[in-house]
C-alpha cells in the first residue's frame, strides 16, 4: 500500500458568544484536519491541535509544504519509520509547537489507515485495551466577562453534575483573589455531591502567586493542579511539587519524547498531559507513555480538539496502563470540553458523547469514526 495524496482541511467557525481562558478571548473555533489517501482506497484522518488563539493555517502549511513530500509513495503502515523521517527532516526548525502538531496529524491518519487495513482498532495495534469505556471530566468554567463571575460558575458546576459528570476542571488564572472566590462558590454549590475537582490556570502566574493559589485551595482535595507556571519553567514545576500537596499536571504545551523526557527527569509533574494532536500523534504518545511509566508518572491525555482528536485520545486511553498498579488504582479520565464548539460533535457520523457518566471507546477499525464530508464543506475556511 502507498500514500497517494495528502489533503488538508482547515475549518473555522466564529462563536456567537466569545469566552476567555487566562491567556485571552476565544472568538472562533478552528481545526486543522488531515486526510491521507492511499492506492488501496483506504483513507485515514488526523488532526493537528489548534488551541483557541492559534491560527490553524500554521500546521496546515507545515503539512502541505514540509511533510507531504516526505510521505508520498511510502507505505502508510510504516508509522514508526515515517514519524522519525518527519521529525528528523524538520528538526532544525521544528521540535515543538505547530510543526510537531502537523506531524501529529499525519501520524494519527497513518494509524487510522493501518487499523482500517488490518480490520482492527488502533488500541488493538497498541497491544490491547485495558478498558472499553472511560469517565469523562467536564472542562469548563470559562469566563464570559472576566472577573466576578463566581455565582454563575457555581450554577455551571451544578449543571455539569446534573448532566452526569463526577469530575470537573475549573479554569482559573484571572487573579488569585478572584480564583479563590470562584472556587469557594463552586465548592459550596457541589458540596455533598461526590464531585472531584481539578484546576487549570493555563500558566497565568509566576511561582509565588501559583504557590499562593495552590496553598489556598489545598482543602479542596484537587485531583490535580494543571499548568501552574509557564511550560518553559521546568524548575518552577519542580518547586510547585515540593511546596504543595496537590498533584501537579502539565504537558499540553510540551512535545515528543524529548520534551517529556526533560519534564520527567527533572521530576516536574505527577500527571503528564500530552495532546494527541501536538505531542507527536499516536506514535509520539506511545513513546511518552513508556517514558512516563519508567519515571512513575501518570499519563492523562489533554483533549481540546474536534472529533478526530477526541477519537485519537480514546484510542490511546484504551491502551493506557495505569501508572501505579493496585486493586483500586486511579484510572485515566477523558477531558470533555464543555465550551461552545459549532462543529466538533457533528464532524463524525456517530458523535462521541457522554452517557450516564461514561464515554464508550469505539471498537471499529482505525480511529473507529467516520467523517461527515458535508460538515467539512460547511465549515471550510
Ligand atoms: Ca489545560
Tens of pLDDT, residue by residue over 137-172, are 999 999 999 999 999 999 999 999 999 999 999 999
Q: What is the pLDDT of residue 51?
A: 87
Least Cα distance to 42 among 124, 148, 115 occurs for 115
The tens digit of pLDDT for each residue in 14-48 reads: 999 999 999 999 999 999 999 999 999 999 999 99
The tens digit of pLDDT for each residue in 63-113 reads: 999 999 999 999 999 999 999 999 999 999 999 999 999 999 999 999 999
pLDDT grade for 52, boundaries at 50, 70 and 90: confident
Q: What is the C-alpha to C-alpha distance for residues 270 and 367, in angstroms, rounded to an integer?
A: 28
* CA of 273 relative to ligand 1 center, distance in Å: 9
Q: Would you state the cell numbers that stand for residue 206, as one nine-digit string?
A: 509566576
Quick check: is 184 catalytic?
A: no
CATH of domain 3-119+373-379: 3.30.390.10
The tens digit of pLDDT for each residue in 189-218 reads: 999 999 999 999 999 999 999 999 999 999
Least Cα distance to 45 among 80, 6, 11, 10 occurs for 6
Instruction: Map out the domains of the chain as residue ranges.
Output: 3-119+373-379, 124-360
Dihedral sign for Cα 81, 348, 156, 162, please. negative
Q: What is the pLDDT of residue 110?
A: 99
Encode 343-374: b = buried (16+ Cβ within 10 Å), e = exposed. bbebbbeeebebeeeebebbeebbbbbebbee
* CA of 324 relative to ligand 1 center, distance in Å: 23
Q: What is the pLDDT of residue 74?
A: 98
Query: For the chain, what percent of residues have pLDDT higher than 90?
Result: 98
Q: What is the C-alpha to C-alpha distance for residues 314 and 118, in angstroms, rounded to an integer?
A: 19
Query: For the chain, what percent of residues have pLDDT higher than 70?
Result: 100
What average pLDDT does range 343-351 have in this prediction?
Answer: 93
pLDDT grade for 245, boundaries at 50, 70 and 90: very high
Q: What is the pLDDT of residue 11?
A: 97
Architecture per CATH, 124-360: Alpha-Beta Barrel (3.20)
Q: What is the pLDDT of residue 264?
A: 98
The distance of Cα 198 from the centroid of its chain, to the nearest Å, equals 15
* CA of 286 relative to ligand 1 center, distance in Å: 21
Alpha helices in the chain (DSSP H): 57-61, 68-71, 79-90, 97-118, 122-125, 150-162, 176-190, 207-216, 234-243, 256-266, 281-294, 307-318, 373-379
The DSSP bridge partners found for residue 136 are 334
* CA of 279 relative to ligand 1 center, distance in Å: 14
HSE-up of residue 275 (Cα within 13 Å, Cβ side): 29
* CA of 82 relative to ligand 1 center, distance in Å: 29
* CA of 316 relative to ligand 1 center, distance in Å: 18
What average pLDDT does range 159-186 have in this prediction?
Answer: 98
Q: Report the chain's terminal Cα–Cα distance, integer Å.
A: 31
* DSSP three-state, residue 33: strand
Of 9, 255, 302, 341, catalytic: 302
* CA of 6 relative to ligand 1 center, distance in Å: 30
Q: What is the pLDDT of residue 127?
A: 98
Amino acid at each position: 500500500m502507498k500514500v497517494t495524496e495528502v489533503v488538508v482541511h482547515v475549518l473555522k467557525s466564529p462563536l456567537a458568544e466569545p469566552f476567555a481562558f487566562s491567556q485571552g478571548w476565544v472568538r472562533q473555533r478552528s481545526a486543522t484536519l488531515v486526510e491521507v489517501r492511499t492506492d488501496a482506497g483506504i483513507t485515514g484522518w488526523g488532526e493537528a491541535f489548534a488551541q483557541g488563539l492559534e491560527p490553524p493555517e500554521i500546521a496546515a502549511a507545515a503539512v502541505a509544504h514540509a511533510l507531504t513530500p516526505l510521505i508520498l509513495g511510502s507505505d502508510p503502515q510504516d508509522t514508526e519509520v515515517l514519524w522519525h523521517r518527519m521529525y528528523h527532516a524538520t528538526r532544525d526548525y521544528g521540535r515543538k509547537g505547530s510543526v510537531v502538531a502537523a506531524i501529529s496529524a499525519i501520524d494519527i491518519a497513518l494509524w487510522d489507515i493501518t487499523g482500517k487495513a488490518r480490520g482492527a482498532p488502533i488500541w488493538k495495534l497498541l497491544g490491547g485495551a485495558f478498558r472499553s469505556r472511560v469517565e469523562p471530566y467536564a472542562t469548563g468554567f470559562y469566563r464570559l466577562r472576566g472577573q466576578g463571575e463566581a455565582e454563575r460558575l457555581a450554577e455551571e458546576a451544578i449543571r455539569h453534575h446534573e448532566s452526569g459528570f463526577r469530575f470537573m476542571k475549573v479554569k482559573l488564572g484571572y487573579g488569585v483573589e478572584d480564583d479563590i472566590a470562584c472556587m469557594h462558590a463552586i465548592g459550596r454549590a457541589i458540596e455533598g455531591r461526590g464531585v472531584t475537582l481539578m484546576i487549570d490556570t493555563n500558566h497565568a502566574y509566576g511561582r509565588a502567586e501559583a504557590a499562593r493559589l495552590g496553598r489556598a485551595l489545598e482543602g479542596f482535595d484537587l485531583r490535580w493542579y494543571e499548568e501552574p507556571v509557564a511550560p518553559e519553567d521546568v524548575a518552577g514545576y519542580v518547586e510547585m511539587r515540593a511546596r504543595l500537596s496537590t498533584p501537579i499536571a502539565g504537558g499540553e504545551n510540551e512535545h515528543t519524547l524529548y520534551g517529556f523526557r526533560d519534564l520527567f527527569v527533572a521530576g516536574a509533574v505527577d500527571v503528564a498531559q500530552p495532546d494527541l494532536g501536538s505531542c507527536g500523534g499516536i506514535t509520539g504518545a506511545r513513546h511518552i507513555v513508556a517514558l512516563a511509566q519508567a519515571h512513575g508518572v501518570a499519563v492523562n491525555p489533554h483533549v481540546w480538539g474536534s472529533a478526530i482528536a477526541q477519537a485519537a485520545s480514546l484510542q490511546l486511553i484504551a491502551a493506557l496502563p495505569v501508572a501505579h498498579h493496585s486493586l483500586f488504582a486511579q484510572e485515566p479520565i477523558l477531558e470533555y470540553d464543555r465550551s461552545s464548539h459549532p462543529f466538533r460533535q457533528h464532524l463524525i457520523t456517530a458523535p462521541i458523547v457522554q452517557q450516564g457518566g461514561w464515554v464508550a471507546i469505539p471498537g471499529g477499525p482505525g480511529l473507529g469514526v467516520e467523517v461527515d464530508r458535508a460538515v467539512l464543506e460547511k465549515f471550510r475556511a
